[in-house]
Amino acid sequence: MVEAVELRTDRVVLRAWRESDREPYAALNADPIVMEHFPAPLTRQESDDHVDRILAAFDEHGWGLWAAEVPGVAEFIGFIGLAIPRFEASFMPCVEVGWRLARSAWGRGYAPEGGAEALRFAFGELGLEEVLSFTAVQNVKSRRVMEKLGMTHDPADDFDHPSLPLDSPINRHVLYRARRP
């Protein structure tokens, strides 16, 4: 087991998960607006299963989808961080940067602030050459975060998500790339 890295920005702490994060994480995963660009909101069990997979990745690597805290404001707002996606695609294997926040924390720039720190860590400590991010075409809020992070989008990289049926409205995905500065 590798010790978990903790990262900090001016406003956001990216820290190891606590048992007490499971409940607010399940609440945001049950919110249909938060989950608008995913197949469905998650049940408590599905949410806990996701936390278990996140914890396993931290055990293996010491980094991952960190629990995001805004000290003095909220102990847990969601996750921001890095992951190794499992599905098959032309751009695999890769490391992705991603985020999912409770609605009460939206619109304050927390995702770009934490995401920038995750990218700094990926290119610095991890020495990666490239980090990717992807989302459903219509997820403009998340695409805007990618753009604020200076990531670039080439329409030639757009893809059909292999875990979703071809006729799903969220099947078509955009891919954004960040190169090592």
Ligand X SMILES: CC(C)(COP(=O)(O)OP(=O)(O)OC[C@H]1O[C@@H](n2cnc3c(N)ncnc32)[C@H](O)[C@@H]1OP(=O)(O)O)[C@@H](O)C(=O)NCCC(=O)NCCS
The residue (of 62 and 170) whose beta carbon lies closer to ligand X is 170
Tell me if 145 contacts ligand X by CB under 6 A: yes
Residue 46 phi/psi, 5-degree rounding, is: -65, -40
Name the segment binding ligand X (CB under 6 A); options: 5-13, 55-63, 102-110, 121-129. 102-110
Under 8 Å between Cβ of 67 and 118: no
# chain residues binding ligand X, by CB under 6 A: 20
Return d(Cα 56, Cα 53) in angstroms, integer.
5
Among residues 9, 29, 47, 135, which is the contact residue for ligand X, using CB under 6 A?
135
Name the residue among 177, 168, 157 with its Cα closest to residue 37.
168
Tell me if 101 contacts ligand X by CB under 6 A: yes
Among residues 14, 42, 83, 111, which is the contact residue for ligand X, using CB under 6 A?
111
Site string for ligand X, 26-55 (x = CB under 6 A): --------x--x------------------
The residue (of 3 and 10) whose beta carbon lies closer to ligand X is 10
User: Which residue ranges make up the site for ligand X (CB under 6 A)?
Assistant: 34, 37, 98-101, 106-112, 135, 139, 141-142, 144-145, 148
